Structure 1
């Protein structure tokens, strides 16, 4: 009886240990990682000459990129399960702990949107909506990436409108929240070759640029300008450009940090209109909008670049373990005149694997020790029975 009792106690201990390790690695590990993150502080005092007495309104926005939800063609079921669970738990934990007002996903939401069938597309969208569900007081805004609609030569009106309908976004759109202007750009359409989609996007961007310039001139000056008579009114604030492709840069050679590209990859030259926007498209966006900040994705790695010694750009790394071991996202506190950013790292996949392996090795050793002890106990019991019979 004591032998059986000890056996069941060991079984219960093993089950309890496995359960604890599983719950920690698959659920609890995200809390201590994201709990270390906080919104960057900003001075909310009104400027002395503005005549404003109320504190400056601020907007708290979260930025992530390149989720690459696997599709029906290239996605192995276990790979999909593992990566999608990681992103779902990370996103839901971030929402619960940080409470952002708006979340921007900078493109490449899907991995196979460029060639998925209607049925596969609907399945991918359903999974995305489950993973990135959010409360009503948090707004989710999704941008277009090359894997969502295809590279320039793969993109067509059907794929583009399919994406725009689901996410209620267009290829060129100004989104204003609390006096902050965010310019959403379909960078895949910035090819500059006169294709119908490219022409439509550039025409709309030029119109938005003119309207914004009118708003920046002030009410009196804009009324005196004939071009501003029918212009859309925006807050008098330089915009923040959000897009999937980075603006043109030669390579990632100047990028640093633990989530930058690997050292052997940083010197690889970027291909225009494939890895980054073309020089011409980059110049157009900077000239038209004079942005105070650019946020982009696509490279799956972090980088900070200053264009023309004036326009800062930050590349946001991938949010998925499939693309990097240490995913992260950006937290931004914005006002109409200022912004501050901070980075939040998710748990590393290698850490989770190491915990599982260590727990597995420890359990195997414990089981072996238990088996050996059980055998000795059984041998002793057999010896006692034999002696009892001989007596």
Structure 2
């Protein structure tokens, strides 16, 4: 084969190998991972109310948390590009394959919302809407987190109202779909006394909706008579993650670290009040970036949803929830591990180097062979 033909063949092989690895790691890899996931069957669910079977079609909800879109101050441009591409491809693939009716994001949408300027905030919001675009068939519900508006000592009304205006959200609200009540609660800041008033009013509305008697319930909002599912950014109070297990739990060296009230988890007092007010059949929370299942007071289950960002975890995931008015079922959908992507790229790089080395050695051997042949002919003459 002519020498230029060999070079073209080697170049084509190199481009094919590199292009195939890039296409697989940046696009195709999300499909086999998410295809393994399926909506759980609600008839096998926990959490039925008074033994009643599900009496309405289940709502299919996708729940994720802590996307932490990097900002202009602390976010390196390549880190932003890489993480946002990963989350966008994972989210869009999940929407296309799973088709949820509603998507809940449990706060910490942004990493620097607590101090971002107007221009930086507008840019962060624009990127979020691009990444998490969705059809009209899917409802997107966003909760506020401490990184969106600041921790308790950093927060003010301007940051809170800026967030609520963009996402059409409030710190405390109710979403009802197919007879399923979902109570949404954000950061739980102590300066927002009006939020506590809203929580008390909402709990009264829900409790009155469950009662057959109207005593003391005049003028309350009527909701479907089902115990709510409570979604919030901060977990309810727990000492640590020592009892958490599974591949998405906190690393073993961190599980026994004690949580700080009002920083890592809600205070004992606030947690108990929320349980007494709402008596939820399920609590879903974020903030810790790790998965965990906790049972409060031996009757209120809470599931912590891990971070959706590869910047925070090697194995991000999200929750698939099938919820009816009588019961619910949860399953976890794991996304491709970052170590797998790094391994594919590393293996591809090694193969490229090997192919180039073999080609160089082959060309060098060919030149030596030709030189020896020419030298032999010269001596014979």
Deviations 1:45-74 (A, max 9, x none): xx9x98x9x963110000000000000000
Cα displacement (A) at 1:43: 2.7
Give the structure 1 partner of residue 330 of structure 2: 341
Give the structure 2 partner of residue 284 of structure 1: 273
Q: Which runs of 5+ in 2 are unaligned?
A: none
Distance in 2 separating the partners of 1:338 and 1:187? 27
Give the structure 1 partner of residue 197 of structure 2: 203
Distance in 2 separating the partners of 1:55 and 1:160? 38
Distance in 1 separating the partners of 2:66 and 2:312? 9
Structure number with greater CO (CA < 8 Å, separation at least 6) is 2
TM norm structure 1: 0.93
Deviations 1:285-307 (A, max 9, x none): 00000000000000000000000
Cα displacement (A) at 1:187: 2.8
Deviations 1:158-215 (A, max 9, x none): 10011001111100101111111111102332x3xxx3x2x11000000111111111
The 4+ residue runs of structure 1 with deviation greater than 4 A are 385-391
The 8 Å contact of residues 318 and 332 in structure 2, kept in 1 or not, is answered as: yes
Q: Does 1:134 find its partner at 2:134? A: yes
Give the structure 2 partner of residue 115 of structure 1: 115
Cα displacement (A) at 1:243: 0.4
Q: Quote the RMSD (CA, aligned, Å).
A: 1.9
The 8 Å contact of residues 151 and 188 in structure 1, kept in 2 or not, is answered as: no
Q: Which runs of 5+ in 1 are unaligned?
A: none
Distance in 1 separating the partners of 2:289 and 2:304? 8
TM norm structure 2: 0.95
Cα distance, 1:364–1:39 mapped onto 2, change above 3 Å: same
Give the structure 1 partner of residue 365 of structure 2: 376
Cα displacement (A) at 1:387: 5.0
Cα displacement (A) at 1:389: 6.0
Cα displacement (A) at 1:228: 2.0
Q: Does 1:11 find its partner at 2:5? A: no
Distance in 2 separating the partners of 1:271 and 1:55? 41
> Is the deviation greater in 303-312 or in 209-218?
209-218
Q: Does 1:362 find its partner at 2:351? A: yes
The number of residues matched between the two structures is 376
Distance in 1 separating the partners of 2:368 and 2:15? 27
1:1-391 correspondence to structure 2 within 5 Å: 2-43=2-43, 56-189=56-189, 191=190, 195=191, 197=192, 199-218=193-212, 221-222=213-214, 225=215, 227-386=216-375, 391=381
- What secondary structure sits across from 1:114 in the alignment? coil
- What secondary structure sits across from 2:224 in the alignment? coil
